Structure 1
Amino acid sequence: MAVARAESIINADLGAVEVNLEGVGLESLEPVLPLLSRLPRLKALRLARNKLTGLPNDLTGICQLEYMDLSANPITGASTIMQGLSGLAILKHLYVDLPCESEEDEVIVAVQSLESFNGTSLTEVFEEVRGAMEGEKSDDGDTSPAPRIFDATDTSVPDEAPIYGQEQQRQQQQQQWKAEDTKNIQGLYTLVTNFTGNVFTQKEFNMYVANVVRHLCALTAAEPDPSSREGEKLKAKKVLYEYCLEELCRVVSGRDAVLGRALTEIAKAQAGLLESYDRLWRRITEEMNGRIAVMKKDMQDAIQEIESLMGQLGQKENDSNGGSGTNAVNGMELQRLQEEVGKLRTENERLQTKLRLVEASACSPDAVAPGALRNSSASADHSRISPSGSRAPQSGSKVLTLKQLKQAIEDIYASKSKYDIKCSESHLPRETMEQHMYTYLNQRYGLKHIILDWATAIIQGIKKYNLEDNDVAVFGKILRNEIDEEFRFVQRQVRETVHELLRVYIKGKRPSKSDTDINKIVQKKTNGTLLEDEWVDIVKYMYNTEDAVSIIMRVRDYLRQVSQPRRRSSIQRGHEIASIHDVQLPYAELIRILLDFQLEGHERFLARFHSIFCRHDADRNGIVNAQEFTAILKTVDASKTDEEIEALLELIDPFGNQLITYSECVTFLSAEIVRMMKAVE
């Protein structure tokens, strides 16, 4: 059907200069080629939007063609059309869609008669640049030699280049095709001909090199980017090296088919690898440009916020002059705004510095490695940081001391408690602690990069201090949904209980002392050390016999470790060696040991349930829906009826938000978890 339509179009006018076969559904040009060869005046052939995957190998029957449009056809590669195009000696204009840019370059250098390719002139740009340079010279009255433009048959470089500045001259010399490049390529092909014995192809190859250089100059003449010019030069070298390799493979295949096939496959693999690397760098460049654009936008946003806050600051100053009754409040507000402006200015300066560094590295093609690019652009990544990730802090990130970290944790806890109340009143689902950390930072700082810096600092602080401070360890485990949020109240209760038991113990030992005196003694003890009788009494009162023994053993191990240096020192000085029972225990160490014991016990208690929860938490975000919650509950307690499950679901998610956190599950299923643990034991 498609061939019949094409034949009717051709037969309609055998004297046609142009034949339009667009969209007729041709799968091959072969059936209509004899008809086309009967058109003596044919100059233009339109074959767009067909199903052509290539061209016939012999197109000499229509060798008078000057224009061919093959666009929007599923051409599989340059190799399927190259031999056919070689028969069109005067083809000037070609439109074709190829899989990759390097194949387009191969077509351009192979079809020597082309004047335009896919609508881009291959000759006008070259002449326009030559004319523009000559025009500048004449307009300025400059009598210095004009910049050298390469001729198709002359691949040498001028002895002296025009001086536009030392750096520009150096870059131009690096990006130009030099006589040495031609000599190296020709020397390589000479080695090939020495092996093949076909010396007659040397002249043909030299003409091919000249043609490649001509097209290279046309492609790079109007290209302002030094990296792009260097890239085109490297691709031209690649085309010439492949020409040599293909000739070698052809001859070897004729002498040894197996060796020739192996050599051909290796050559294809190497060419594919180079293509992949080229695409990789193009993608990296695009990503870098996108991140630069994001950084510029963030910088503009920061500038706008600074200007807005400065306006508010000026307004507050004017208002503060209007009345004395509100001076104190206005003064606090002004101080807050000044601090905010300072933070924004600092952020703005940091963004500008990073932007300059990225843009500077983008200007130099050999100054940026892929790893360096990722590091320099990491600040533009606004994705949230997982507490369990191992990402190292980027340059410019905030570093928190232990005191600052614990203060930040307390602020997040306080904000979370208030936010949970608001969510309950508004019938909204609760956030996990990780979600609320970002909510809190966003409410406090607003700017994305400040939020990112604080989040990174908190995560890195947790990794740094979790082994030495229990509060930090608990917060980290809550962030990772390893324990429930309410456990922090248990730890707070442990502290308060130890303090109260110490006061009761001292009161019992000194009944005649007033409450004021007792409080002073307690304060001194909490800031200092405890006697063995004091801490043993507290431990035995708070825990059952088994746990108390375990804790006492931990304390004695700690005392034994700290007493070793003292024992060695006493031996050296000849003093009497003290027993570990005589070594007093710092109050802070008792609290640490008790809190660590509580945390370890709670983790053991939740270990089985945590494993079940993670098995049903598909996206690993610490949140499940009603269906997942039902599956968790049936795994924990298989005896639950559907009515009981619905009742629990109504209790835990009364508004049907379908967002149930890990902490809510632990809180509402505590009785079921206890029964599950007892059944396991």
Structure 2
Amino acid sequence: MALERAERILTQNTRTDEANLEGLGLTTIAPLLPLFAQMTRLRRLRLSRNALTSLPEDLSALRNLESLDLTGNPIAGLSSILSGLQCIPNLKHLNVDLPFESEEDEVIVTLSSLESFNGTSLTDADDDAPPASNATQTRSAIPQAWVNDAKPSQTHTTSVSAKTRWEESDTVQIQRLHQAVSSLSGRPVSKQEFDDYTRSVVGHLHSIVASEEDPLRREAEIYKSKKILFEYCFEEAVRAAQRADPALGQVLSLVQDSYSGLLNNYDRLVKNIVETKEKKIEAMRIDLQGAIQEIEGLMQQLEAKGAQGGDTASSARYDGERRKFTEEIGWLRTENEKLQTRIRQLELSRQGAPSASPSAGARALSAGTFGAQSTDRTGQSPARHAPPALGSKVLTLRQLRDTVEDIYASKSKYDIKCAETHLPRETMEQHMYTYLNQRYGLKHIILEWATAIIQGIKKFSAEDNDVAVFGKILRNEVDEEFRFVQRQLKETVHELLRVYVKGKKPLKGDEEIQQMVRKKVNGNILEEEWVDIVKYMYNNEDAVTIIMRIRDILKHQAQPRRTRRTAVPTTRSQAAKEEEPVLLSYNEFIRILLDFQLEGHERFLSRFVRVFKQHDTDRNGIVNEQEFRAILRSVDPAKSEEDVSALLDLIDPNNNQLINFSECVTFLSAELVKMMREEGV
């Protein structure tokens, strides 16, 4: 029974770097070695509080292991475990209860790779620290490994480099601290609840750190997140103390409030310093802009005088002054750009702590007004609220299109940063709020803009394909990369029109051809032109469909004009005018092609969208490894476990467990084509 439970735990995630097999009643781990051999990323193994008396002599399956916890096991003696431990070349941290104290020295001497033993550091950095007593460790209610992991990092005592990203060791530290506190309190606290809370805090931290260029500000955000999680654990410790000694619990509660208030006051002080600097920089920026405008005005005056002519001396003086002003403007523009960059960084620094994320309420609003329930980056749905009273901002189509393009551009840059920092990509919906947060900062403005964008999508989707595509990307109905397909289509049509015009007017120069193309793009195109383009771009079946669709539209547009005709035309010119064909505007032609392309892509993805939403139970457009495996089994049941693992290594190389819809479509393109062919779509 114990081995079966252990096997289930290990097979749930063979790509993890930590395995917890504590308290299962294991008497041997030999049957588990084949599973350990498959877990090439395993770095930490916890086997405490089992019934192990020895270890297998060959533990080379755990060759990448760095930390091993064997405390609380009735180990018979050093000889029963030493051979196996010597097969783990990377072992750095070992915790084990041995029957004789003399055997501990032999462990330290034999295993030269160890950096800590039973919580005592063996490196030079902690030579002054007193060694821990083995008897004390055995009696302690908290395993020493937890205490050791909960110690604050001392990296900054010897280095000035900033900690710029949240690491796995930080998560492990928090989890072990919470486990230690929970073991003291005896209160049944849901580990899943705490893990979800941790993921929520860390997920929001990732979104802030990825957009922050200043490494010191990144480190500050990391410490803020740690503070929030430490406070969660401290509150649990206070509750445990209150049950044992109410007076002690009250004192600890006061200590917690004092420290929390002190840190909050320090954070406000730093923000006030930043705001003061920002005001000074803004004043300097205004002065620089004024100077630039003044110098440009003087240059215009000089140019006007130069244009009027004059003697050679005046011309030379004019040229000298003009060069001097040009150089000065160049310097001022450079300084202005530097100040603008600094201002943007200061605006980013206004981001609050993760617990005060403005996107949570915005996403709750989106859930109620746009469709599927929105969620945060970690896959956890934010609490629902009644929508706050928002402004009546209404976006025109032009404003909405510009905003969508800005979001696209921001998303592309953000994806690059996420790839560089090994963070998971955001969905387009998540990034919309990230973009608004970075641009406006204030929660009520973010909500107002989000509402305006969503209402604009509802209003203009039927008449503008770009808006329709953006809305479908937000709802995870088409993948993000499809917008590049639509962009390429527009460029291809424009180029084909240029080639067509050039073919009809071979004697015209390039500039004249460009003018003619520009006139058509801003106006109408002839039937022979759009028919030729359609036949060139599409196969016969699709070309016939598009041509018939365009002619139906033109027929519909011509209908009102026919109803206005009189019984008998009064003049021959009027009759000829009425017989003129209805021209097709270039913009309408592009919209028809884009709509046709979108409809085809939606048909292509239709089954996969249903499969994805079936497994994406929280409707946030993100799945974990287990959900991805289930999706892949539905799409291609013939896939072997090796093929699935290989795909996972490609789509989620950093094991973030956050795989979004667009990534699935991109990496499963071959499987989706195969599925489409089988269905005859």
Q: Name the TM-score class by shorter chain.
A: 0.3 to 0.5
TM-score w.r.t. the length of structure 2 is 0.47
Greater relative contact order (CA < 8 Å, ≥ 6 in sequence): 2
